[in-house]
Amino acid sequence: MNCCFQVLVSMTVILPLVLDSCRPSLKQTHMKAVLTGLILLCVHTGAAALDGRTSLQWSDQFDTTLSAPQPAPDFASMPELSAHSVLVLDQASGQALLSKNAGLQTPIASITKLMTAMLVIDAAQPLDERITITDEDRDTLKGTGSRLAIGAHYTRGQLLHLALIASDNRAAHALGRSYPGGLQRFIATMNRMARALGMHDTVYVEPTGLSSGNRSTALDLAKLVDHAYQNYPEIRDISTAGNYTLGTQRVVIRKKRQQPQVHYRTVAFNNTNRFTRAEDWNIGLSKTGFINEAGHCLVMQAQVADRDVIIVLLDAQGTSRRAGDATRIKAWLESSPLLRTDNRHTPASRT
């Protein structure tokens, strides 16, 4: 549409020069005919572009050089956001409601675990099968700890809950390690799935997100969130739970110069996204992430002001700033008259 406008402007400058040699009676006629044809061509091209914006596939043509799309005159003021990359999409139409560096490739930290969970479910391995946490599952990249002891046994279903709710790295690594064909096949499948979903700027090197080699864009992650929400009710249910408990577990406490003490206690985990416990949020899918290279990240599917949206926040400098960004986006959607429309989106079920 912009291209047509530029051609139209150019022609209004060039045509008078070209028609200068024509008789006066013909100049006006030729000029009017040519300009009318150009205007009709531009209108037709614009209508075709709008008709094609019916799914998230539109984002392949999205102009990622813009820091944010220009709002319509009646929109409330755009919120100021701390996250370096932001994308807010209307899920039903694929329309970008807000964008900032949406095409910038960046580390994605534990947002990685969303793809990990999808592949674990696709493999259809028994969720009640017990998996042992081993030394292979230790975090040797960042040195983070875990409440899952080496040598402890957990079901695949429990590890899936811990990876999505508590973002536990040992749980995610154990899930990838126990995949049919092993860890390397799991990583290869992660990348094949990304390509199949049209995530052209995404690469995975391991299943936890601890490596900064796991990289993506806000545009690609919106596609991932949409696909997961549409096809994986298990992920919707697990990732939106405010907390999770393993029940009564045997806990061994070791202190220097003391005999190990054995206790039996309830082991509970809170969701790393505090909005899953907030009454004023209606969240359909959620995942957080953080490593130093990625900053604080958040992806959500949520219903705000009767509209189903996908929110992607990457590289916010602090948990509170990430939460503040999400809160400001919610308030902006609720206060913008042109955005308050009933545009809810019913997810499909995976077959």
Catalytic sites, residue numbers? 110, 113, 167
At 286, list the tokens. 């959620």
The Cβ of residue 100 has, within 10 Å, a number of other Cβ atoms equal to: 21
DSSP 8-state assignment for residue 22:
S
Distance, in Å, from the CA atom of 207 to the CA atom of 209, rounded to the nearest integer, reads: 6
List, in sequence order, the alpha helices (H) in the chain: 2-18, 24-51, 112-123, 156-165, 169-177, 183-196, 218-231, 233-239, 319-335
Own/partner pairs, 255-263, CB within 8 angstroms, 24+ separation: none
Q: Which amino acid type is present at position 344?
A: R
Instruction: Tell me which residue of 87, 110, 107 sits closest to 311, measured CA to CA.
Output: 87
Instruction: Tell me which residue of 244, 233, 212 sits closest to 148, measured CA to CA.
Output: 244
Q: How many residues does the chain have?
A: 351
Largest CA distance in the chain: 108
Distance, in Å, from the CA atom of 68 to the CA atom of 91, rounded to the nearest integer, reads: 18
Distance, in Å, from the CA atom of 303 to the CA atom of 286, rounded to the nearest integer, reads: 12
Phi first, then psi: what are they for 301, rounded to 5°? -105, 130
CB 229 within 8 A of CB 301: yes
Residue by residue, DSSP assigns 186-228 as HHHHHHHHHHHTT-TT-B-SSSSS-STT-EE-HHHHHHHHHHH
Distance, in Å, from the CA atom of 310 to the CA atom of 95, rounded to the nearest integer, reads: 10
* Bridge partners, residue 243, by sequence: 270
